[in-house]
Amino acid sequence: MKIEVEQLGDLNKAKEAGHNKNFNFLSEALTAQNKDVTAIVNSLAEFQVAIPSWALGAGGTRFGRFGFQGEPSNLGQKIDDIGMLHQLTRTAGAVSLHIPWDVPEDYMAIKELASSHNILFDAVNSNTFQDQANAKHSYKFGSLSNISKVSRDQAIAHNLDVVKIGDKLGSKSLTVWLADGSNFPGQSNFQDALQHTEDSLKEIYKGLPEDWKLFIEYKPYEPNFYSTVIQDWGTSFMLANACGDKAYTLVDLGHHLPNTNIEQIVSTLMLKGKLGGFHFNDSKYGDDDLTVGSVKPYALFLIFNALVYGMENNPQNPYPAWMIDASHNIKDPLEDLMQSLEAIQEAYAKALLVDQTKLRDAQANHDVVTCQEILQNAYRTDVRPLLEKARLNAGGAINPVAAYRELEIRKKLIQERGANSIATGL
Ligand code: LRH
Ligand code: MN
Ligand code: MN
């Protein structure tokens, strides 16, 4: 399944007059406010978000899974899907592989395929939350934290294998998320579990190539429901510091207890130069993995405001690795990912509109009302024409979801791959 450049061009032509009208109107208004519209459009075009290899099929819950027809059933097809997303949105220029779900069989072929779609290999993700086929030791009672050394060693070796796989593809970072924890009070010794985890992470860190980074993800609960070893950003931060300069905290938007102030966590980590990666999704209750921006778009904007401030003011923090970590239970995964990408770009564009100098002045004057006005003026601006312009300049679709539907891509994928193809993943 390939989208021809002319096909996209025709679709864009039909929408171009409307786009131009809206863009010119917005551009004039923003220019009058001393905003550099071209610079914002360029920043949007540069902002690329990795798509995880596990997110291209229908997700499921513990109660069941409703398959989506035409799902990619191998890594090549997954990269093809990401290529299509990228062609339409020009925002999905990377893939984040999950090992062992998506180990390449032929490295050269996979690299060539990815580069034909302009897709880079971002962070590789290890998996010690499931027992793998033929595994000698179980992770039922933990992996890097396990009281049993053989399980810990097996988990360390797996992470080092993942680094080797990523290295062959051009990845430069390893993301570690641990399901380790306990289900019942008294089940495990908190101090031992944390100490084992720190020691195991240090072993993995030792095996990292010089130019690699280690991202340590945190999560308060699930799949363990009494305690999680790396439960919050503070624990992750502490472990990253214990490992060294190449280790960072990774923030996943769904991995917080309700009402946590995530933008403040982002600010703290960036000030300390330790925000390495970011997983986007949205939630109402827990780690719901819903479409980005679908439930709490203002919170997303405030988080982006902290990210933009950090990217402009914290040279001590590396440029973060962005990834969508959502699950698609009832929507077409590709359409859902396009909606997430749109929401990310929208929040980013709005954050770029915040007048940081005026905000600082208002803060210095304790003018709380003006502080709020500055943020909300930016948030209430309809920035979608800026996103359209960024896509159009880069050869993408003015409206990716509409283009996807008009080109009947899902129907064609079903014809090619069949109705019953199944993607590996969550
Ligand atoms: C854990 C998580 C983590 C995993 C992914 C499958 O909830 O967010 O990033 O690797 O989901
Ligand atoms: Mn995640
Ligand atoms: Mn998660």
Closest-approaching ligand to the CA atom of 251: 2
By DSSP bridging, strand 94-96 and strand 247-252 are unpaired
Closest-approaching ligand to the CA atom of 178: 1
pLDDT (tens digit per residue) in 261-288: 999 999 999 999 999 999 999 999 999 9
Task: Kindly state if the Cβ of 332 falls inside 6 Å of ligand 1.
Answer: no
- In the chain, what are the domains? 5-417 (3.20.20.150)
* Residues whose Cβ atom is located within 5 A of ion ligand 3: 287
CA–centroid distance, residue 175 to ligand 3 (Å): 12
Task: Kindly state if the Cβ of 178 falls inside 6 Å of ligand 1.
Answer: no
pLDDT at position 420:
83
Task: Kindly state if the Cβ of 218 falls inside 6 Å of ligand 1.
Answer: no
CA–centroid distance, residue 255 to ligand 1 (Å): 9
Task: Kindly state if the Cβ of 122 falls inside 6 Å of ligand 1.
Answer: no
pLDDT at position 142:
98
| Residue ranges in the chain whose pLDDT is less than 70 | 424-426
CA–centroid distance, residue 180 to ligand 1 (Å): 13
CA–centroid distance, residue 287 to ligand 3 (Å): 6
Task: Kindly state if the Cβ of 102 falls inside 6 Å of ligand 1.
Answer: no
Determine contact, residues 6/403, Cβ cutoff 8 Å.
no
pLDDT at position 426:
60
pLDDT (tens digit per residue) in 57-85: 988 888 888 888 999 999 999 999 999 99
Longest dimension (CA), the chain: 66
